[in-house]
Homo-oligomer: A and B are copies of this chain.
Amino acid sequence: MTRSAPGADLGLHRVLEPAGVLPQAAWRLDPDPRLAADEVRVDIECLNLDAASYRQLSERHGGDGAAVRAEVCAIVAARGKMHNPVTGSGGMLIGTVAESGPESPLGLRPGDRVATLVSLTLTPLEITDGLRGWDGLGERVPARGHAILFGRSIAAVLPPDLPDELALSVLDVCGAPALTARQVAELPGPAPTVLVLGAAGKSGSLSLAAARRAGAGRLIGVVPTLAEEQALTRSGLADLVLRADARDAVRLAALLEQHGGPADLTVVCTDVPGCEHSAVLATRDGGRVVFFSMATSFPAAALGAEGLARDVTMLIGNGYQPGHADHALDLIRQEPGVRALFDRRLRTESSGGAR
């Protein structure tokens, strides 16, 4: 296979059906191990199924691990990618670079141990071991086979100094601190006040640390429970920790009124729906809101700001920014407060996450 001109870096030449769509929209991809000039082949170590996909498969088969395993094998064989046709979601994978095409812009070398930061729903994949190393009872799927990265795919070399599980959970949300830092830097005026909803979570704690480094002034973190209030306070990441229901726009605005008024920038990192109006009302006229929560409703945000006559700039959290992975890994290494919150979360939760 050689490089075909337009769209090669997006993997268009790997789309088998329907022809002409993007790999994520395709029903079936071609996982041929022979590389185009800008592609990379990765020998798979394990897949991390996204939580929604695994739950659907497990429930469908009543927790029968062998049946779940058979269905994952069947999906990958039929589609050339691990794209759950019911949930529409995928996950990510860990592996080792086997071959890097001469024109690949990813900077990867054979032997590099990497995690993919683009969804499995657009990653050509072939499994060769029938997943016999997996009991079908969890989201982490040891596997043999290979995957293909395109010129525009994103992968991060796994850092040798961090546990895999920790690195993966940082990489899963690394777009949030990168975009937060950029927004803080772009806001006019010195030392803006930054409010983070869902501040003790993965993207929330990284965003607080990123905001501080980017020159934010006062940092306010909102959390839903006493346990998270205590953990966030101990972390030292926020100047003020408020325990409140992030869906209760009126109460949150009143609380902020008692503590210096609305924020210049509000970052929404909650995992519950219904925080759009709270975020708008918590932000001053002329300020910005960044929505990272995948539970965000586009119409609720658009109509909410209009209904509240609030002149705020609202951003959809883009999960990609150049350098985002290294930036987030630096934060987890250098900010003990962030590390403590991640460690606490990894102890108490299943892996979750990958979108």
Query: Contacts of A310 on B, CB cut-off 8 Å?
Result: 318, 320
Given contacts A298-B291, A314-B318, contact A7 B250 (CB under 8 A): yes
Query: Contacts of A311 on B, CB cut-off 8 Å?
Result: 318, 320-322
Min distance, Cβ A194 to any Cβ of chain B, angstroms: 18
Interface magnitude class on chain A: 35 or more
Whether A306 pairs with B318 at a CB distance below 8 angstroms is yes
Tell me whether A153 is interfacial, beta carbon within 8 Å: yes
Rounded to whole angstroms, the CA-CA distance of A168 and B306 in the bound complex is: 16
Min distance, Cβ A177 to any Cβ of chain B, angstroms: 15
Tell me whether A56 is interfacial, beta carbon within 8 Å: no
Whether B314 pairs with A315 at a CB distance below 8 angstroms is yes
Whether B305 pairs with A10 at a CB distance below 8 angstroms is no
**Within the complex, which residue of B12, B122, B294, B321 is in contact with A302, where a contact is CB–CB below 8 Å?**
B294
Chain A 44-59, CB-CB to B under 8 Å as 1, else 0, gives 0000000000000000
Given contacts A119-B303, A297-B298, contact A251 B309 (CB under 8 A): no
Tell me whether A340 is interfacial, beta carbon within 8 Å: no
Whether B152 pairs with A308 at a CB distance below 8 angstroms is yes
**Within the complex, which residue of B6, B303, B308 is in contact with A355, where a contact is CB–CB below 8 Å?**
B303
Rounded to whole angstroms, the CA-CA distance of A288 and B181 in the bound complex is: 17
Chain A stretch 27-81: residues in CB contact (< 8 A) with chain B: none
Tell me whether A301 is interfacial, beta carbon within 8 Å: yes
- Known pairs A118-B309, A119-B307, A305-B318 / 10 extra A-B pairs, C-beta < 8 Å: A21-B250, A24-B277, A122-B307, A152-B309, A302-B318, A303-B319, A306-B318, A310-B318, A311-B322, A314-B316
